Amino acid sequence: MVVVALTAQNKRNVTDHAGKCRNFMVRDLKDRAAPDWQLRSIGREESLSACKEGLPPALQDVDVLITAGAGPGLKRRLQASGIELFVTDMLVPQHALAQWRELDAQRRAEGDAWTPPNVLPVFRINEPCNRSGTGTPTPAHRCVCGGHDHPTQEEQ
């Protein structure tokens, strides 16, 4: 069974700041009878940043978390709990899921299934984030940083 959760604070699109997110769109990829997406909401005290390890009870069945942004602490905690974190620039849930499926299929073909992906591009400190690779910041992530969990050139 593979259960995927998307951070969807606005209850429609993939959103960033996974640690603060309180609304998630969840889908069981193996259960064809299940509805397309199930909305799950959690309390502020259950947010991913409030969890000391793993996921809150409402998300305990999740294997993969897809988001538009997550910090390095959350990435480490999820990885230690065996939960895959996938950071995407795709805002439409179906597109984000398709992107993860494509990467997962590629890793499986290479014999490297379930290895946490390193799909984030390298950013220079104080340059606009450009998760889409188009030369302009994406609508989901406009910032000038050297942080979140994307590595800087100095870290490479």
Band (117; pLDDT cuts 50, 70, 90): very low
**CATH number of the domain to which 54 belongs:** 3.30.420.130
In a domain, 61, yes or no: yes
Count up the domains in the chain and report the number. 1
In a domain, 28, yes or no: yes
Q: Are 3 and 28 in contact (CB under 8 A)?
A: yes
What is the separation of C-alpha 122 from the centre of its chain, rounded to a whole number of angstroms?
Answer: 17
DSSP 56: -
- Distance in angstroms (rounded) separating the CA atoms of residues 31 and 8: 21
Band (107; pLDDT cuts 50, 70, 90): confident
**pLDDT tens figures, 2-56:** 999 999 999 999 999 999 999 999 999 887 776 689 999 999 999 999 988 889 9
Residue 68 has pLDDT above 90, yes or no: yes
Which helix (H) or strand (E) segment holds residue 66: the answer is strand 64-67
pLDDT given at position 142: 39
Domain containing residue 73: 3-119
- Distance in angstroms (rounded) separating the CA atoms of residues 98 and 39: 19
Q: Which residues pair with 84 in a beta bridge?
A: 64
3-state secondary structure of 26: strand
pLDDT given at position 1: 64
In a domain, 143, yes or no: no
pTM tops 0.85 = no
In a domain, 30, yes or no: yes
